[in-house]
Each structure stands twice: as structure tokens, then as C-alpha cells.
């Protein structure tokens, strides 16, 4: 990296202080009365469309005002190509387009309306609705549009399989489990949507819908494995009618018990929309009346995901209060000052009692004897604590201790939650030295080749970004060069790409991964002159946009990735790049000055940053996210860190993030 000769440090400029103060005031104004932050979490058209279709599946009373707002949202996010993308300005996506069109038609949009005609033409021009993914095919089968032979066989007897069996629920991710179990019951019972309006979408197919057969192999699936599993699918399809009725009922009962145990009150099964919606349909097909407490609470949980505005509305895939609060606290601690620090401490006091200490979640299968000690992503999800969130919360609590020790904050005592979380995080480290988001050693990659897994996200394997966060946490709280830390560093060194970047599983994408890893390596004491740090910092500087910012979009997850492809700058991705460069000791690099100038220049009059583009990831190539909070705390964090490094006449970041 061509590092310029450092210039004498200068005090923070008045303009920079003004930017930080304005952003701080805006972030503090968004804090909830009890101390936490929660911002909207937006996906693509599929979730709001599925919400509308669920209500009509169940023949619930039509909420015309709400449907009109959802329709306005769906029309607004329609792409120029006529269909619906997975992220802003993204390519046409068949499944999102089919569901959005169906939902708009269900709401009452005329099929000859210009936007509907454009959507229909776009869908048909790309092969028609039969090209949709497996989850969309399940929906089409539930409405009776396509035969059940067009979806993979998933017998409910899966619930009875022994743990050693090649396919077992314990071998897939938490999100797959919670979605699949109620879906198994639905496939066993094969109900048909009530659909009181009788709306159909035959016009989206190029062939007679009832003639459609099994879905094709997805691009990421290996042919040998796929065709093996397709053979298994054919055998199961022939054998399923012969399964003993008593065994089937026993499997259904076990699925019902599994869901009921994890129902999670008003926060819903798995606290994610697809699982929650499937649980409601499961209770419905099993004959539970709307008044049954289990069905009622499952249905109520979905309403809590709605984001309703004066003219538009949509349904969120889940909510993110733990994540939002932890990151907001970090940004405010970086800002410093009496009010910012006091309100961040209030956020930590809200977080502390939400640590999961008394539920052995599904992760216990791989880590028997390990005590729970993590935090969830959502308000409550005790069976599924999030490793990444836990590391972020612990680092924020540790920062509070550090500020108190220097007399910059009131005393805090988070020693007990930090110690318990450390124990859990260490116990969740996988055999390869890395961490996954919710499970350990979840690397049964052959399962991504079953016909059901055309989305390629059946598993929760260890990833670079989550590993980096855990390493950052362990280093910040004084773990030293323990065996766990050494193994994590070795994993990150092994996974660096030739260009210098690291993959970002949960944030978009290589900018996010590289920021995460640079923070971790710096915290762990890796020399800034080490090849991996030098190479990564050079990559970040090299990909800076001419406007001084950084950007990347969902196309970076393509299977044949061959290096960074430029995308419009965003505030949050620019902040990640800046934080990464500063962690690498490059606070004086011209790229950092340009990036700081970019953030200051595009800041709004309200102190915040407008960020309509998606910068996060649910499932690569399938499902992307727009965290409305990212542009509210990450740019502030970067600006405040830059000021602090300049004012302190120091260039060393001493924290994990």
C-alpha cells in the first residue's frame, strides 16, 4: 500500500464536530423510552406479498386500508425491468415477481393496468412462473395452482429419524428447522387455500400449470449429488402413500410438540416471518380454532412485524432490537460526552436482562454441557441466541467498564454477563477455529444439494465475519493468545482472498467482511505490517469510488465472483471501509480523508444519512436486507473515531470494533 508520509495531526475541525453532534442528536432522539433502539428491517417484495396471501389463504376479513398501503409499496419497488428485484436496482427475480404480482392481483389491481401488464410480460419472457424457486412452488401448491408433484417430497416422518441419519433437523440451520417443521405438516395434509376471491394466476405460466413437474437443479448444486437426491425423492414419492397411518400421526404429533415448545409467545416461531406464517397454517390445517391460544399467539406475532406508514406499509422479515441497540451503543461510546455515554449505558441496562441464561437452545445438540449465555437478535428468541449479537453486546459492555475506569462514565458492573457470554462464545467455536451465527460445526454441505435446498442456504456454517466478531470480543476482553484466539486467527488467514478481501456472509459483502476481519486482527495484536493486513488495507483503498465513498451490492455474491465490481457509494459501507482502514493503522491515508469528507458531504439536514440501497444479507443470491439503522449509527461511528484518533495524536485503535 502506498501510504503517504503522515502529516502533523490537527485538531478536529468545527465542521467535523458539527457533523458528529448533529448525528448524535438524531440517534439519541430515536432511542426508545426504556433505553433500546429498534429500526425497520426491510427485505424485498416477497415478505409483504406473502403477508397479503396468508390472509387470503386463511380467508381473514379484508383490511382494505392496509392492503392499499401494501399495494402502494409493492408498486413503488417494482423494477424498470417490469418485475421485482431482491435489492434496490437489482436484476429481475422470478419468485419475488410472481408473489408480488399475485399479491397485487389479490388486493384488486386490474390485470390490464400498466404495471401489471409489464410484470406479466417480464415473467413470461423469462420462462413463466414455473421457473420460480421451491418455496414459491410450495405456495403455488397450497393455492392449488400446481400439483404437489411439482414440489420436493418432504415427508413429515422426518421428525422420527434418528440423529445419525444423513438428513436430520439437527444437521440444518435454525432458520431451516423452524421453516421446515410446520411445512412438513402442511405437505402431509396438503390443504388448499380458502382464497374466497377465487383469484388465480394462470396467465403467468407458459404451460398448463397442472402439468408442471419437479424443479430443476439450481446453479450452485452439484449434479451428482442432486440427481442422487432426485432419485431419493422419486422413491419417497412412490412410497409415501404406503407409510403407516399411525406412524404418520406420531410424526405430526412430534412436529406439533416441536413447534409448540419453540412458539416464543408474541415474538413467534424462530422470530422470523416464514416460520411464523407456516406455524399459523399448520395450526389451521390441524383444526385449531382461531381462539386457541397457540394459534392466536402465532397469528398475533405476525402483526408485530408490520411497518405501517401514512401512505405505504410492508411486513418485515423479523425485527432487530438487540443488534440495533448494541451497535448504537458502540457509536455513542465512540462519540463520548456525558449525554451520549449515559444514554448508551441505558441501552446496555436494557440489554443485560435479555441475556439468555436458562434455556438450552437447539445449539445444545452439538455442545452438550455448555451453559447458555448469549443474546438473541430479536426481542426474544431463547432457543436461538445469536453469536454475532452476543459478541457485539459484550464489547459494548466492556467499553462501558473502560470508560468508568477512566472516570468518563458512571460505574457499571457487567462482569457477570460478560463472563457468562465469554464461556458460551468459547464453547460455540467450531472445529476449524471459526464461528457460525447460531450453531457450531454446521457443515453438512451435501444437504444443500437436496431438491428442497435450491436456495443454497440450508446450513449455518462458520463464516469470516462472525469469526472476526468473536475474535474481536475475545481480544478486547483480554483473552490473550489463547488456543481459541490462535485458531481463529489461523482461520481468518486461510480464508483471505487473493485480492486481499474477506467474504461477508451477513453484510454486503467483501467490504463488510474485510472491515470485520481488520478490526479483529488489530484487536488481537497482529502487526499492521503483516501481509494480510497490508493487503486488505490496500484493497479497501483501491476500491474507493471517485466520490470518496464505498459501495457494493448483491451481485457480489455471484457464484463466479472474480473480484470487486463497483457500485454506488452508501454511507454504511463507506463507514465500514473507513473503520477497517483505521483499524489497520491507516488513519492518515488520503483515502480516509476522502471518505470522511464524503460522509460529511452527504449527511442530511436532519443529521442522518439517506440510504435507500440494501447493504446486508439474509441469504446470498436469495434474500437481502436493508437495515434502516445502519445509516444512523455506522457513519457516526466512523466520524467520531476519526476525530478521536486525530485529537489523541494516536493512530492505534485499541478496541475490538
DSSP string, 399-415: HHHHHHHTTSS-----H
Residue owning grid cell 485480492:
499
* CA–CA dist 540, 517 (Å, integer): 12
Residues catalogued as catalytic: 388
Residue 387 placed within a domain:
yes
Residue 433 placed within a domain:
no
345 pLDDT higher than 80: yes
Selection from 500, 359, 512, 384 nearest residue 436 by Cα: 384
Q: Phi and psi at residue 411, in whole multiples of 5°?
A: -60, 140
Do 35 and 48 lie in one domain? The reply is no
What sign results for the dihedral spanned by CA atoms 566, 47, 78, 39?
negative
Residue ending a domain, among 377, 409, 428, is: 428
* CA–CA dist 170, 167 (Å, integer): 8
* CA–CA dist 331, 657 (Å, integer): 10
Selection from 26, 640, 19 nearest residue 337 by Cα: 640
Do 608 and 524 lie in one domain? The reply is yes
Do 562 and 652 lie in one domain? The reply is yes
* CA–CA dist 122, 573 (Å, integer): 32
77-115 tens-digit pLDDT? 999 999 999 999 999 999 999 999 999 999 999 999 999
587-616 tens-digit pLDDT? 999 999 999 999 999 999 999 999 999 999
pLDDT, average across residues 116-123: 98
Do 51 and 23 lie in one domain? The reply is no
SS3 314: strand
**Number of compact structural domains in the chain:** 3
Do 414 and 514 lie in one domain? The reply is no
CB 521, CB 532: distance < 8 Å? yes
Write the CB contacts of 566 (distance below 8 Å, at least 6 apart in sequence): 543, 545, 551
Write the CB contacts of 324 (distance below 8 Å, at least 6 apart in sequence): 36, 37, 38, 39, 627, 629, 633
Residue 383 placed within a domain:
yes
Do 88 and 224 lie in one domain? The reply is yes
β-partners of residue 624 are 617
28-50 tens-digit pLDDT? 999 999 999 999 999 999 999 99
Residue 620 placed within a domain:
yes
pLDDT, average across residues 605-629: 97
Name the grid cell of 220: 450452485
Q: Note the Cα 587 to chain centre separation in Å.
A: 30
SS3 468: helix
Do 62 and 153 lie in one domain? The reply is yes
pLDDT, average across residues 415-419: 97
Do 29 and 60 lie in one domain? The reply is no
9 pLDDT higher than 50: no
Name the grid cell of 587: 488513519
Beta strands in 265-334 (DSSP E): 306-308, 313-315
Residue 275 placed within a domain:
no
User: β-strands 313-315, 623-627: how paired?
Assistant: unpaired
CATH, residue 19: 1.50.10.20
Name the grid cell of 387: 453469536
Write the CB contacts of 417 (distance below 8 Å, at least 6 apart in sequence): 352, 355, 373, 394, 397
Question: What torsion, rounded to 10 degrees, do the Cα atoms 370, 374, 376, 380 define?
Answer: 80
120 pLDDT higher than 90: yes
Selection from 168, 171, 162 nearest residue 441 by Cα: 171
Do 115 and 208 lie in one domain? The reply is yes
* CA–CA dist 560, 517 (Å, integer): 23
Selection from 281, 304, 467 nearest residue 380 by Cα: 304
149-184 tens-digit pLDDT? 999 999 999 999 999 999 999 999 999 999 999 999
Residue 352 placed within a domain:
yes
Do 543 and 651 lie in one domain? The reply is yes
300 pLDDT higher than 50: yes
pLDDT of residue 5: 37
Residue ending a domain, among 242, 261, 288, is: 242
By residue range, what is the domain housing residue 29? 13-39+320-428
Contacts by 233-238 with C-beta closer than 8 Å and gap 24+?
233/152, 233/153, 233/451, 236/153, 236/155, 237/149, 237/153
Residue ending a domain, among 410, 428, 446, is: 428
Do 402 and 478 lie in one domain? The reply is no
DSSP state of 479: -
Confidence of residue 4 (pLDDT cuts 50, 70, 90): very low
pLDDT of residue 405: 82
Q: Phi and psi at residue 623, in whole multiples of 5°?
A: -155, 120
Do 51 and 156 lie in one domain? The reply is yes
Residue 290 placed within a domain:
no
226-241 tens-digit pLDDT? 889 889 888 988 888 8
Q: How far apart are the first and last CA of the chain?
A: 22
Residue 284 placed within a domain:
no
Question: What torsion, rounded to 10 degrees, do the Cα atoms 42, 46, 51, 54 define?
Answer: -160
pLDDT of residue 553: 95
Which ranges of 58-159 does DSSP label H, i.e. alpha helix? 64-76, 94-107, 114-125, 134-142
- CB-CB neighbours of 560 under 10 Å: 5
- CB-CB neighbours of 609 under 10 Å: 22
- CB-CB neighbours of 284 under 10 Å: 20
DSSP string, 615-650: -EEEETTTEEEEETTHHHHHHHHHHHHHHHHHHTT-
CB 25, CB 605: distance < 8 Å? no
Q: What is the largest CA-CA distance in the chain?
A: 81
Amino acid at each position: 500500500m502506498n501510504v503517504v508520509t503522515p502529516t502533523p495531526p490537527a485538531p478536529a475541525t468545527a465542521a467535523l464536530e458539527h457533523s458528529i453532534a448533529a448525528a448524535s442528536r438524531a440517534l439519541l432522539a430515536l432511542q426508545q423510552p426504556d433505553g433500546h433502539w429498534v429500526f425497520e428491517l426491510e427485505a424485498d417484495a416477497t415478505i409483504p406479498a406473502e403477508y397479503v396471501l396468508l390472509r387470503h389463504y386463511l380467508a381473514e376479513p379484508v383490511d382494505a386500508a392496509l392492503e392499499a398501503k401494501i399495494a402502494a409499496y409493492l408498486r413503488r419497488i417494482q423494477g424498470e425491468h417490469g418485475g421485482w428485484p431482491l435489492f434496490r436496482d437489482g436484476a429481475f427475480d422470478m419468485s419475488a415477481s410472481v408473489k408480488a404480482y399475485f399479491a397485487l392481483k389479490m388486493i384488486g389491481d386490474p390485470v390490464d393496468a400498466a404495471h401489471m401488464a409489464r410484470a406479466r410480460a417480464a415473467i413470461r419472457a423469462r420462462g413463466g412462473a414455473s421457473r420460480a424457486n421451491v418455496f414459491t412452488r410450495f405456495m403455488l401448491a397450497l393455492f392449488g395452482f400446481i400439483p404437489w408433484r411439482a414440489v420436493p417430497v418432504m415427508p413429515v416422518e422426518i421428525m422420527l429419524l434418528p440423529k445419525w441419519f444423513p438428513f436430520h433437523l439437527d444437521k440444518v440451520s435454525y432458520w431451516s428447522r423452524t421453516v421446515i417443521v410446520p411445512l412438513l405438516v402442511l405437505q402431509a395434509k396438503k390443504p388448499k387455500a380458502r382464497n374466497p376471491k377465487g383469484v388465480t394466476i394462470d396467465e403467468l405460466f407458459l404451460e398448463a400449470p397442472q402439468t408442471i413437474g419437479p424443479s430443476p437443479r439450481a446453479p450452485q448444486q452439484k449434479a451428482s449429488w442432486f440427481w442422487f437426491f432426485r432419485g431419493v425423492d422419486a422413491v419417497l414419492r412412490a412410497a409415501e402413500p404406503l407409510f403407516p397411518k399411525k406412524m404418520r400421526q406420531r410424526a405430526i404429533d412430534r412436529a406439533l410438540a416441536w413447534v409448540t415448545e419453540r412458539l416464543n409467545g408474541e415474538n413467534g416461531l424462530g422470530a422470523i416471518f416464514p416460520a411464523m406464517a407456516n406455524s399459523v397454517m399448520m395450526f389451521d390445517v390441524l383444526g385449531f380454532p382461531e381462539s386457541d391460544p397457540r394459534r392466536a399467539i402465532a397469528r398475533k406475532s405476525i402483526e408485530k412485524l408490520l411497518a405501517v406508514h401514512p401512505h405505504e406499509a410492508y411486513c418485515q422479515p423479523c425485527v432487530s432490537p438487540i443488534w440495533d441497540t448494541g451497535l448504537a451503543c458502540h457509536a455513542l461510546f465512540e462519540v463520548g460526552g456525558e449525554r451520549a455515554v449515559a444514554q448508551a449505558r441505558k441501552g446496555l441496562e436494557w440489554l443485560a436482562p435479555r441475556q439468555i441464561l436458562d434455556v438450552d437452545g437447539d445449539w445444545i445438540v452439538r455442545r452438550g454441557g455448555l451453559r447458555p449465555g448469549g443474546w438473541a437478535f430479536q426481542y426474544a428468541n431463547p432457543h436461538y441466541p445469536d453469536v454475532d449479537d452476543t459478541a457485539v453486546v459484550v464489547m459494548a459492555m466492556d467499553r462501558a467498564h473502560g470508560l468508568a475506569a477512566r472516570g468518563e462514565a458512571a460505574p457499571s458492573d457487567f462482569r457477570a454477563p460478560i463472563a457468562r457470554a465469554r464461556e458460551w462464545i468459547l464453547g460455540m467455536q467450531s472445529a476449524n477455529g471459526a464461528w457460525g451465527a447460531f450453531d457450531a460445526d454446521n457443515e453438512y454441505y451435501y444437504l444443500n444439494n437436496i431438491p428442497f435446498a435450491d436456495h443454497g442456504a440450508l446450513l449455518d456454517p462458520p463464516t469470516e465475519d462472525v469469526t472476526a466478531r468473536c475474535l474481536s470480543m475475545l481480544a478486547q476482553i483480554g483473552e490473550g493468545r489463547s488456543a481459541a484466539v490462535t485458531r481463529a486467527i489461523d482461520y481468518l488467514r486461510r480464508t483471505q482472498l487473493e485480492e486481499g478481501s474477506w467474504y461477508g456472509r451477513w453484510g454486503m459483502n467483501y467490504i463488510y467482511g474485510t472491515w470485520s476481519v481488520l478490526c479483529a486482527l488489530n484487536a488481537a495484536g497482529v502487526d499492521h505490517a503483516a501481509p494480510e493486513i497490508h493487503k486488505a488495507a490496500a484493497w479497501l483503498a483501491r476500491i474507493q469510488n471517485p466520490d470518496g465513498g464505498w459501495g457494493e451490492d448483491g451481485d457480489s455474491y455471484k457464484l463466479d465472483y472474480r473480484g470487486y465490481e463497483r457500485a454506488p457509494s452508501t454511507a454504511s459501507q463507506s463507514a465500514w471501509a473507513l473503520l477497517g482502514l483505521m483499524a489497520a493503522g491507516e488513519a492518515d491515508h488520503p483515502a480516509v480523508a476522502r471518505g470522511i469528507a464524503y460522509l460529511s458531504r452527504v449527511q442530511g439536514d436532519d443529521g442522518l444519512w439517506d440510504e435507500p440501497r440494501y447493504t446486508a444479507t439474509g441469504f446470498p443470491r436469495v434474500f437481502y436486507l436493508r437495515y434502516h439503522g445502519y445509516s444512523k449509527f455506522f457513519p457516526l461511528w466512523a466520524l467520531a473515531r476519526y476525530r478521536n484518533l486525530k485529537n489523541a495524536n494516536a493512530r492505534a485503535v485499541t478496541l475490538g470494533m
